Structure 1
Amino acid sequence: MSDLGDRLRDERKRLGLNQLEFADLGGVKKNAQMNYESGERSPDADYLSALLKAGVDVMYVLTGIKAAAGLQGSENDLLSGFRKLDQRFKEVVVTLVSGLAQEPVISAPTNNIKGNVGQVIHGNQNNESPLHFRFGKKEK
């Protein structure tokens, strides 16, 4: 399969869609989809961009090189599974991964003061770490 139309058909079948469903993803009519797959017409950037957002491997459609070729180990499984999800679940996965990929929040050190303490503060004081004070019975 050496031409764009064949690769486009491959991607449609990989996703388990008929020509009308695939055309809807790309924002075109079924007739246009048929023309793209037969090689009579070439798709435009808007169509390909819409397909990309729907999980089509546009790099493969254009070049014949599968995007998964550069993935390692379970990355290919994740990408393949992600592409099979409906849009709602794709958004959930993206949100989850974005949250997990953020830098962890490192809590500031705490100050523990034990014993009889009296404190008088004159002027301004800046303390970046949280202060905890316990009043009442002595600790054993």
Structure 2
Amino acid sequence: MSGIGSRLRQERERLGLSQKNFGEIGGVEANAQGKYENGGRAPKADYLSRVAERGVDILYVLTGTPTPTQLENLSQIEEKVLGNYRAMFKEDQDAIHRLTSTLAEHSTSSNGKSRSSTQDS
């Protein structure tokens, strides 16, 4: 499997979400999500917009080219966290990914806003 569907699945898995949860974010049922991922159906723009708001790299999904990440604007703490992460064994990186995905999901579960965006208000 290659193309948009497989990249969409990769992004869903990267975020640690089930097809049902991911479909809910995009405003579709789990069976539609499955069809998107297996290439049986093409996602529409409104769906892509919704999942992009939750961290999906839409450029990657559509083209296979990841969106470049700007690292020059990282705070000192972010640089330290990233440096520590890169120094870890793969298994530990996987655990950190699961932890941060879960924390982010909990942070955005109320009103669809992240904790930092609600603190800025």
TM-score higher than 0.5 here? yes
**Scaled by the length of structure 1, what TM-score is found?**
0.55
Match of 1:28, as an amino acid? V
When the two structures are aligned, how many residues end up with a matched partner? 93
Pair member with larger Rg: 1
Q: Which has the higher contact order (CA 8 A, sep 6+)?
A: 2
Match of 1:18, as an amino acid? S
Match of 1:72, as an amino acid? L
Q: CA-to-partner distance for each residue in 1:87-113, whole Å, 9 max, x for gaps?
A: 1595332355x68xxxxxxxxxxxxxx
Match of 2:23, as an amino acid? A
Q: 1:91 — aligned with what?
A: 114
Larger helix percent: 2
Structure 2: runs of 5 or more not aligned: 83-96
Coordinate RMSD, CA, aligned: 2.9
Structure 1: runs of 5 or more not aligned: 100-140
Q: 2:71 — aligned with what?
A: 72
Match of 2:70, as an amino acid? L
Q: 1:39 — aligned with what?
A: 39
Structure 1 runs (4+) deviating above 4 angstroms are 73-77
2:60 is equivalent to residue 57 of structure 1: no
**Scaled by the length of structure 2, what TM-score is found?**
0.63
